[in-house]
Amino acid sequence: MPITLKQLSLLAGAHPSTVARVLHADPRQRVSAELRERILQLAREHDYRPNSVARSLRTKRTAVFGVLIPDIANPFFASVLRGMEDAAAERNYSIILTNTDDQPAREAHGLAMLRDRQVDGLLLATARLHDSAIEQLAREQTPFVMVNRHTEPITPNAVVPDDYAGAVAAIEHLLELGHRRIAHIAGADDASTGYLRRQAYLDTLRSHNADTFDDQAALLVRGSFREAGGYTAMRTLLELPDPPTAVFAVNDLAALGAIHAIIEAGLRVPEDISVVGFNDLFHASHMAPNLTTVQVPHRAMGVRAVERLLDMVVDGVMPESPLLMPVTLIVRQSTAPAPQRQPGASTHRRATPAS
């Protein structure tokens, strides 16, 4: 028969509440190192398993957080989730994951399921700039933290990358290389990541003498956050009478799709067209050519989001301002000086069949 908390506390010679706090790594519990080690050793020897149901009834908490992400197939979110799980485990919290496929109906269903499970708080990577579901959570005072994306205006309970600064760095890098026909494969405007990266693209070009940037509207093409969207958008750009010499994609997956389209057209990266991504996923440094991209601290963002939610749920401390995670431009092989060609000359050519 499993040992109970009361029996374990008798063996340790300590009050049950003290034993429980030591076993749950409660930072507010101050005990001697000797007593802490004795409790932990006895728990190991007797294979003690806490009664999570009894604990939740006593503390009014389940020690579970709900996580909503838009795309489980995107490696970016896998890295963010790993940070969340690691940070939660350190405080004996678990995570329930829901994938929404970036669909409002699935998001609503996922939120309802998580709330039925009585999770202690929510970690949301699905926010839209104007999101009625998040507005309702705020009205009901449900603890939640927005991760990677945020609403407009940004609120204190957000942990997000500095999208605007990262996009500015990407465009300025291409300008310094002599590129003037710089295209942008954009993401969804209703996501802060897509909106801010697009806005930074436009603002940076305007600040560097907009008169030199003709036909700018044609160089901004709606793609998606996925590889297929990048591929389709790049094919559209290649059909222009005067295609771009450089492309800034909304993320690495879109950049990968763009590179596939460029190579399929018989062109070279970066000799004919330079490409920059955003996020610095694992494959960015292992593909050929290595991808120039904006590095986002994926795992750290997940860790900090959980820490903020724990502050809210466990300690009752509300964030005073949003946390803007710093980003860094990583220059690799996919960008090079602008090619010399006559204005209006198309670079599009058919690939030569392999012999």
pLDDT digits (tens, 9 = 90+) for 113-129: 998 888 999 999 999 99
Phi, psi of 184 (to 5 degrees): -130, 125
Residues 119 and 241 in one domain: no
Q: What is the pLDDT of residue 19?
A: 80
Residues 317 and 223 in one domain: no
198 lies in a domain? yes
332 lies in a domain? no
pLDDT digits (tens, 9 = 90+) for 27-82: 556 788 888 888 888 888 887 766 554 454 344 568 899 999 999 999 999 999 99
Domain span including residue 25: 5-50
Residues 122 and 135 in one domain: yes
Report the distance separating Cα 127 and Cα 192, nearest Å. 8
Report the distance separating Cα 284 and Cα 172, nearest Å. 20
CA 209 to mean position of chain CA atoms = 33
Residues 102 and 139 in one domain: yes
Top pLDDT among 275 and 349 is at 275
Top pLDDT among 354 and 2 is at 2
Nearest-5° Cα angle at 43, 40 to 46 = 150
342 lies in a domain? no
Residues 29 and 75 in one domain: no
Check if the beta carbon of residue 289 is closer than 8 Å to that of residue 332. yes
pLDDT digits (tens, 9 = 90+) for 293-314: 999 999 999 999 999 999 999 8
Q: Which two tokens stand for residue 188?
A: 């969804």
According to the per-residue pLDDT averaged within each range, which of 1-15, 151-165, 197-211 is highest?
Answer: 151-165
Q: What is the pLDDT of residue 25?
A: 66
Residues 119 and 34 in one domain: no
Q: What is the CATH number of the domain that holds 75?
A: 3.40.50.2300
Residues 77 and 138 in one domain: yes
Average pLDDT over residues 118-141: 93
Q: What is the CATH number of the domain that holds 14?
A: 1.10.260
Residues 302 and 312 in one domain: yes
Residues 242 and 280 in one domain: yes
Q: Tell me which amino acid residue 183 is.
A: A
Instruction: Work out how many domains the chain is built from and give that number.
Output: 3
Residues 213 and 239 in one domain: yes
Residues 179 and 226 in one domain: yes
Check if the beta carbon of residue 246 is closer than 8 Å to that of residue 181. yes
Q: What is the pLDDT of residue 147?
A: 98
Residues 149 and 233 in one domain: no
252 pLDDT band (50/70/90 cuts)?
very high
221 lies in a domain? yes
